[in-house]
Structure 1
Amino acid sequence: MGRIPPLTGVKELVTVLDGLVGRPVGRRVLPAVVLEGNHERGAAFVTGYRDRLRDASGAALAPHALLGEALVEQAQRSVEPDVVLLDELTRQLEQTMPAAAGAARAQRRTLAEKLCVAWE
């Protein structure tokens, strides 16, 4: 598992994120947390926390995605950068959806629709 680097103010953020992940979801809309930044230690925090979103067997505890610098650069070169980013975001969320959340095809359609509406 990765390690979350010590950053100022991060202890409180980790506690809040753990609380969100640990709550049963039911039919509620999942909260979205977006962490952005290109600083090396900030990226290490995001990848370190991402490892906490999986159990010991590697199964996802909560849907999550990491859109790295390479993807952002690829999107910037595209004619439709929004489509590139949303497609990858949808793919990653679909792949990390806990198994009890329904059929993969329905998940992808629902995720894509909600992301597009939120993006607009």
Structure 2
Amino acid sequence: MPFFIVAGAVNAAIAVMLGAFGAHGLKDKLSERYLAIWETAVQYQMFHALGLLAIGILASSSIWGASPQLNWAGYLLLAGIIIFSGSLYALSLSGVGVLGAITPIGGVLFIAGWILLIIAAVKG
């Protein structure tokens, strides 16, 4: 599906921009701890952006085609990026520790998305 290809490409571009911003713009403004959290957010955003690209390509292929499991996998990875990486970016910038409590929800969404990709592969 083109949506997931676009969403993956947009998230990959954002991850590169935020990675560069963290490395250059925040290195003197954040503690090592918060800079490491920022880097984790960037890494997970990029990993899952690539997952979105793969889902988009697979959904567009004549071999797999769109399936409910593939669509849900894409939406869950996208929601995971927003919640997981978004909460870590916010935590890094604000220092508000409670934001770290939201992060595992994004992690669960990532796991569910990858499991649905496995199911789509087995069914496909």
| TM-score (ref. length: structure 2) | 0.36
Whichever structure has more helix as a proportion of its residues is 2
| Higher RCO structure, 1 or 2 (CA under 8 Å, sep 6+) | 2
| TM-score (ref. length: structure 1) | 0.36
